[in-house]
A = this chain, B = another copy of it.
Amino acid sequence: MAENPNTPIRPTDDAARALAQSLIAAARHGALGVIDPACGFPMVTRVAIGTDMAGAPLTFISTLSAHTRALTADPRASLLVGEPGAKGDPLTHPRLTLLARATQVTDGSDHDALAARWLDQHPKAKLYIGFTDFSFWRFAVTEAHLNGGFGRAFVLTAQDIAAPPMI
C-alpha cells in the first residue's frame, strides 16, 4: 500500500481559470445532475449544452423529460463539462463540475436570441428548435470544481469561471 502523493486541492491560478472558462465555452453536451423530486436521489442525464451571449452555460430541454420536471421542483443543479472526444484518456482529460441554480427562460425575445445562437452552436437542433415543449434553461454558477487531470484539482468561485462576454 502506498500513500497518494497528490495534494487534493491546488491554489487557484490564472491557468486554472482560463482552462475552466474554455471548458464551458467549448461544451456542446455534458452531464446534468438534478435532484429527483420523487425520491431525493441525484439524477444524472446527458444534455446538449451551449452558452448565452454573456458566456453563461445553458441547455435546451423538453418539459416531457424527467430532468426538466426535477429542475421545475428544485433549481439546484450540477453540470459536468469537458468531454474527451475521440482522443485521450477520459480520466486524465480536464473536466469541470459546476454547481448552479437553473432558471427557465420564459421571456420571448430572450428565447429568440438564444435560439439563433443555439442553432449556430448545435446545427442539428433545427429538428426540434420549434417544439413547443422545449425551453432554454440558464445556469447561474455558485461554485466549480476543476479537475485538470489526475491529482490536479481546483475549487473555483463563480467569479473565477465568469468569462468575458462573447459575441
Contact = CB atoms under 8 A, between A and B. Distances in A.
Interface stretch (A2-10, A50-58, A159-167): A2-10
Given A31-B80, A48-B91, A133 B42 contact: no
B80 A45 contact: yes
Given A4-B132, A132-B1, A44 B46 contact: no
Interface string A125-156: 00010111110000000110101001001000
Interface string A49-90: 000000000000010111000000000111110110111011
A87 B87 CA distance: 11
A152 to B, nearest CB: 13
A99 interface: yes
B91 A46 contact: yes
A44 B97 contact: yes
A126 to B, nearest CB: 12
B133 A4 contact: yes
Contacts of A124: 89, 91
A154 B85 CA distance: 27
A156 to B, nearest CB: 13
Interface of A: 1-4, 6, 8, 28-29, 31-36, 39-48, 62, 64-66, 76-80, 82-83, 85-87, 89-91, 95, 97, 99, 124, 128, 130-134, 142-143, 145, 147, 150, 153
28 contacts: A1-B130, A2-B132, A3-B131, A4-B62, A8-B64, A31-B33, A31-B80, A32-B44, A33-B33, A33-B43, A33-B78, A35-B42, A39-B143, A41-B76, A41-B77, A42-B43, A42-B78, A43-B99, A43-B145, A44-B44, A45-B147, A46-B80, A46-B147, A47-B91, A85-B86, A86-B86, A86-B87, A91-B124
